[in-house]
């Protein structure tokens, strides 16, 4: 045999099986090592809210909104219609009540310092003329129901019912006349305003209007 000839020893069948198994084991370790580093990477971390309940840390999630609808019964429909009517009337009449109440409060403050009957009458007539000029046309278009609501709101703004206001400005006879007219329209000039009692719902709507349009009490 030549000098460069090398003898190859035959490899056992057992060694042939061990080499692929060893390679597979090494590849498995490398894969596990990469997974371990990947799990420890900051960029792969998902932050989530959690709560601690009885010593256990539990993931906190916000559930999707679930809408539940139902139909009104007859009583609820009637109450809803009544509330809507009142709300619409307040939205229409509150600006008039606010303005009229402001004028009347100014007038009352002025009358405190006026003692002469002629001077008081002149002051009242000037304010009456101002109110008529501003509100005669709009107020004639109000319904009877809206008129009732307006009187309530004027009471709220001034602290006096409409009967007392008319009596103070025009005299008792005139006040009784307007009270009689109001009676025929199923109304009452003497009706009070109780924001914590019978007029609680009205007060809530008035506060809504004030927030909506920036009125100041």
Domain spans in the chain, listed from the N-terminal domain onward: 79-213
Which residues make Cβ contacts (< 8 Å) with residue 102, sequence separation at least 6?
157
pLDDT at 114: 85
CA 143 to chain centre: 29
pTM, two decimals, is 0.60
Q: Report DSSP state, residue 159.
A: S
Nearest to 203 by CA among 90, 77, 95: 90
State the Cα–Cα distance between residues 196 and 201, nearest whole angstrom. 9
State whether residue 209 is helix, strand or coil. Answer: helix
The backbone torsions φ and ψ at residue 214, rounded to the nearest 5 degrees and listed phi first, read: 70, 30
Chain length of the chain: 217
pLDDT at 182: 60
How far, CA to CA in Å, does 189 sit from each of 121, 162, 176?
22, 5, 9
pLDDT at 187: 60
pLDDT < 50 regions, the chain: 1-2, 5-17, 36-39, 184
Residue 26 structure tokens = 């090494």
pLDDT at 9: 44
């Amino acid at each position: 045999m030549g000098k460069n000839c090398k003898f190859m020893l035959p490899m056992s069948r057992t060694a042939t099986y061990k080499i692929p198994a060893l390679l597979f084991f090494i590849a498995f370790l490398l894969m596990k090592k990469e997974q371990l580093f990947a799990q420890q990477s900051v960029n792969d971390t998902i932050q989530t809210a959690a709560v601690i309940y009885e010593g256990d840390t539990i993931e906190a999630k916000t559930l999707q909104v679930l809408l539940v609808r139902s139909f009104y019964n007859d009583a609820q429909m009637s109450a809803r219609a009544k509330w809507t009517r009142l709300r619409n009337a307040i939205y229409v009449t509150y600006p008039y009540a606010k303005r009229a109440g402001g004028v009347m409060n100014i007038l009352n403050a002025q009358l405190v310092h006026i003692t002469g009957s002629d001077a008081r009458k002149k002051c009242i007539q000037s304010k009456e003329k101002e109110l008529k000029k501003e509100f005669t046309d709009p107020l004639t278009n109000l319904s009877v129901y809206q008129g009732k609501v307006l009187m309530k709101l004027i009471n709220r703004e001034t602290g006096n019912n409409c009967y007392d206001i008319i009596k103070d400005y025009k005299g008792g006879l005139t006040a009784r006349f307007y009270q009689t007219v109001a009676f025929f329209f199923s109304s009452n000039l003497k009706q009070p305003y109780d924001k914590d009692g019978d007029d609680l719902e009205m007060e809530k709507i008035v506060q809504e209007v004030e927030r909506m349009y920036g009125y100041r009490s």
